Structure 1
Amino acid sequence: MSIKKIVLRLKNRLVFVAAIGAFLPFYANGQTAPTPVGPVPNARQIEWYHREIIAFFHFGMNTFTNDNEGDGTASPERFNPTALDCNQWTSVLKSAGIGTAIFVAKHADGFCNWPTAHTNYSVKNSPWKNGKGDVVKEFTDACKSAGIKAGIYLGPHDRHDSRYGTADYSDYYASQLSELLRNYGPIWEIWWDGAGADKLTQAFYTRWADSVRHLQPNCVVFGTKNSYLFADCRWMGNESGIAGDPCWSTINPSSIKEEPDHINELNHGEVNGTAYAPAEVDVSIRPSWFYHTEEDAHVKSVAALWDIYFNSVGHNSVLLLNYPPNKEGLVSPIDAKRTDSLGALIRGTFKTNLASGAAIKTLHSRGAKYQPSYMVDNLENTYYAAADGFNTDTIVFNLGAAKTFDVLMLQEVIELGHRTTGWSVEYSKNGKTWIPIPEATGKQSIGYKWLVKFKPVTATQVRLRITDGKASPAIHTFGIYKQQM
């Protein structure tokens, strides 16, 4: 054989080996990865889910007129915060472990918190900083300095501008959207409120969504009504902080569009929905969205915030928690303290998974690459998967000793879609008699994260029964915890 042929054959073999190597993550030990089922999240949505809690900052003309829904007639002269400090806002978030914030650049009253070139109804005509101020810039600069992702609420509804609902208004809004997306660094979410925005057609949002995708490709779109086709996440049907049980990430787009007739679908999602648009749970730490002194005595307690956390983040959703800065331009000390306490409670409770190190037995393990121990290893890129053809499973965690817990967590591999549609958890003190946890019995959805709290129980073994599914289970995490008040 000639040297030339030998070299050619070696090259071909190297190409073949390289090609096989590229597929080794999927075929290691002869085990293929589970095939995704139904709609699955895009990269923006996966990153969005990992934020878990997002802060909302409602601050503007309504703060100074003591309104929640201004009519757009208040003079810009009334806007004059005496001690505005967005670094104070972000310090509150850093202390609580909140890594993303959305600022209301323009609410429905039409007043703009940045010196936009497209209307005089903005901070440039206020006495604050002699008209030279820019709250959006101070907010985004503070976020950048603190390592917090910045998002923008640009209200589609506008009570100040007489062009609202016309083609001219579409131009106006597009110009303002461009200013915000071009001039303030990365914008990680754009919030398109559906309240009052019925006059805005799908064509308007098509144009505006094109701008978002062109200027900020990593930006998540909160969509409603006529922006439903572009929604990376959806409204969940109330402002009380309660997502449904079940709460699917999937939904039919028409259910997002027709809000009044589809509150149930918004709250619960639809297990066979054709779009992946998970719920974002918006609620204020106070009774109102904007600051009012008289509400200082009505800030939500830590216990109430803890319940909201379980009913939002713990129901396969992301929590959007509002902090309305006061007339000085600061987050109230009361709000800050409650937020700090919530953050400490979350960190303390979920610091130690009492199932870590458990001996685990399953009925239908897929193999070594997807072994049961990966459910409790606290690593991002490992998970347990059952063999194809088995949509149910029984998974027993032998804890090795009696342990007391009152919280459990379950996470699916969201990149593989909603797979499990029925599950329950039981515990045993002797490995023979199994006692159901009522709050974790007859459950359906899992998704990114499902949390359950209950009265403390003591057990040596815990059993997860997957009773129904669309495909073989793929479980990222199973955890049991003791609440740390």
Structure 2
Amino acid sequence: MSQNTLVERLVSTVPSKRQLAWHELEFYAFIHFGINTFYDREWGNGQEDPAMFNPTELDTDQWVQTIKAAGMKAILLTCKHHDGFCLWPSAYTEFSIKNSPYKDGKGDLVKELAESCKKHDMKFGVYLSPWDQNSSVYGDSEKYDDYFINQLTELLTNYGPIFSVWFDGACGEGPNGKKQIYNWERYYACIRELQPDAVINISGPDIRWCGNEAGHCRESEWNVVPKRLTDPAYTAEHSQQEDNEAFRERPVSFLDQDLGSLEALKDEKEFIWYPSEVDTSIRQGWFYHKHEDDKVRSLETLLEIYYNSVGGNASLLLNIPVDGRGLVHENDAKRLQELGTYIKEAFASNVAPKAKVTTDTAYEDAYDVTHVLTADRGYFKPAQNEESVTLRFELDQAYAINHVVLQEELTESQRIESFEIWVKKADEMEKVYGKTVVGSKRICKFDAVNTDVVEVRITASRIYPTLKFVGIYEAQ
């Protein structure tokens, strides 16, 4: 196809309402907790004794408050991992919390966490492993699909609004030695019917996996990519097939570094809005292990991951393992508080609203350049055919700044292909930052510089660019 036709098709590909809501979350938590916690394992085998599940100090309010302190806005719970043990009293299996000592078999951890999330204004989501090593019908396609749909229905109807249903591609053998062929379209239809506002992540059509569990992402994360990437078989083929520490630490490898440039897409037939999620753990493992208490990731490492994901047009799903007491361990809680404090302070003082903002291009009143000064006043869009644009911010005085945040208007798709940040130093303009894509959010971090003029120079776009927000932050 011609480049003009390609560009037209790309910029006409936009997010759904549910995807837009997901973009706004940016940073949220995974909680791995279950029977594995009490066997000191990453992956169980479905033969565990429910009597081992006995947290004596469990406090879901502590989980939520600790996670919220880090600046996260939602929580996903491993309601059932590959072993098949259910953290809710499922009517369809005996391998669940109802046969554990916890609350004398009357407990329901999904309910407790959902209620704590509601109490503390956090979104709640569910992870349900399609692989079940305990189910006797796993591998019997129709019977197991019925079983899985029944459990999915329980989770989607009994616990209030669900913001995300998270599926991985795990597909091993069941207790009968068989593997299951998952009926993904049936699972998706169930979710769309019961929780139409929920995004379906990873092995699903809404949110894609970044391609590793180490916290790495691409230099240029594009939201519009080939539709073929949504095929669950593609994700399953490249997902973790066994408990393997090397897999958890590998960088981006199975997917190309370039998923969305014009060159990469020129021969593709179908496109989809399929943004990236970075999933990684605050420790080496996903479930709690006492020997990892001194291996919580450093603040510096977590910040690097945060800037590269949330600050690079992806979301960050950070796993927090709950220990055998039923609490987030003190070391993890301390690091999360440090992370939240840093983020809050780094973006506490936005001086952009104190600036006179101008641009070197014409625009319609409806897309006034001053709209970029707040995130909820519409957006700036220059006249058509202006693919290189400069926005100039003349501040009311000199400030020491070290962050600039950019956001595109996603309802107009993703357009910006490269940009630069320039500041005035000693009466000369100097470049302090340059990158490729912007998308949902680009956080530009650089050494603090005293200046009273900042320029955002969009140097290339697929079509005339948009900007929803520009923040200029004073160094703290």
TM-score after normalising by structure 1: 0.86
Whole-angstrom CA distance in 2 between matches of 1:215 and 1:461 = 51
Paired positions, count:
440
User: 2:273 & 2:362 partners in 1: Cα distance?
Assistant: 28
| 471 and 463 in structure 1: CA distance in 2 versus 1, 3 angstrom threshold | same
Deviations 1:15-69 (A, max 9, x none): xxxxxxxxxxxxxxxxxxx999231111111111111111111000110000001
* 1:149, distance to aligned residue in structure 2 (A): 1.1
1: CA distance, partners of 2:99 / 2:257: 41
Mean Cα deviation higher: 386-395 or 252-261: 252-261
| Misfit runs of 4+, over 6 Å | none
Is 1:282 the equivalent of 2:279? yes
The answer to whether residue 171 in structure 2 is matched with residue 171 in structure 1 is: no
Distance in 1 (alpha carbons) for counterparts of 2:420 and 2:181: 44
Distance 1:428 1:383, change over 3 A: same
Q: How much does 1:476 deviate?
A: 1.0
Check the 8 A contact 1:427/1:436 in 2, yes or no: yes
For residue 456 of structure 2, what is the aligned residue in structure 1? 464
Matches within 5 A, 1:322-337: 322-337=319-334
Within-5 A mapping of 1:70-149: 70-149=44-123
CA displacement at 1:289 relative to structure 2:
0.3
Distance 1:266-1:51 versus aligned 2 partners, 3 A rule: farther
1:448 partnered with 2:443: no
Confirm or deny: 8 A CA contact 1:236 1:267 kept in the other structure. Answer: no
Counterpart Cα distance in 1 of 2:81 and 2:375: 41
Per-residue Cα deviation, 1:174-230 (whole angstroms, up to 9, x for no partner)? 11001111111111110011133695546x111111110111111111032xx4xxx
Q: Offset at 1:164?
A: 2.3
Displacement, 1:96? 3.1
- Aligned match of 1:57 in 25, 31, 51? 31
| The one of 174, 185, 189 aligned to 2:164 | 189
Q: Tell me the distance in 2 between the aligned counterparts of 1:92 and 1:269.
A: 36
Q: Please, which of 386, 398, 412 is the counterpart of residue 402 of structure 1?
A: 398
What's the % identity of the aligned pairs?
A: 38
**Native 8 Å contact 1:113 1:134 kept in 2:** yes
1:360 and 1:473 mapped to 2: Cα distance? 17
Tell me, in whole angstroms, the C-alpha distance in 1 between the residues paired with 2:357 and 2:61: 47
Residues 1:420 and 2:416 aligned together = yes
Q: Which runs of 5+ in 1 are unaligned?
A: 1-33
More helix by share: 1
Alignment of 1:17-416 (within 5 A): 37-167=11-141, 168-196=143-171, 201=181, 204-224=183-203, 227=204, 231-257=205-231, 258-259=234-235, 263=253, 265=255, 269-271=259-261, 272=265, 274-376=271-373, 378-416=374-412
Q: Distance in 1 between matches of 2:103 and 2:469?
A: 51
Paired residues of 1:68 and 1:289 also in contact (CA < 8 A): yes
1: distance between equivalents of 2:116 and 2:421? Answer: 44
Structure 1 residue 98: Cα displacement: 2.2
Query: Which segment is superposed worse, 59-68 or 246-255?
Result: 246-255
Distance 2:114 2:339 in 1: 24
SS at match of 2:417: strand
User: What displacement does 1:268 show?
Assistant: 5.3
Q: How far, CA to CA, are the matches of 1:85 and 1:483 in structure 2? A: 37
For residues 310 and 166 of structure 1, what CA distance do their matches in structure 2 show?
45
Question: Which amino acid is 2:36 matched to?
Answer: N
Q: Is the 8 A contact 1:35 1:416 kept in 2?
A: no
Residue ranges of structure 2 left out of the alignment (5+ in a row): 1-7, 174-178, 239-251
Q: Which amino acid aligns with 2:167?
A: W
- Could you give the per-residue CA deviations for residues 81-133 of structure 1, whole angstroms, max 9, x where no partner exists? 11111111112133333221100000011111111111111111112222121
User: Quick one: distance in 1 between partners of 2:14 and 2:395?
Assistant: 34
| Distance in structure 2 (CA, Å) of the matches to 1:444 and 1:132 | 53
1:396 and 1:448 mapped to 2: Cα distance?
21
SS of residue matched to 1:356: helix
Q: 1:191·1:221 contact (CA, 8 Å) conserved in 2?
A: yes
Structure 2: distance between partners of 1:249 and 1:210: 23
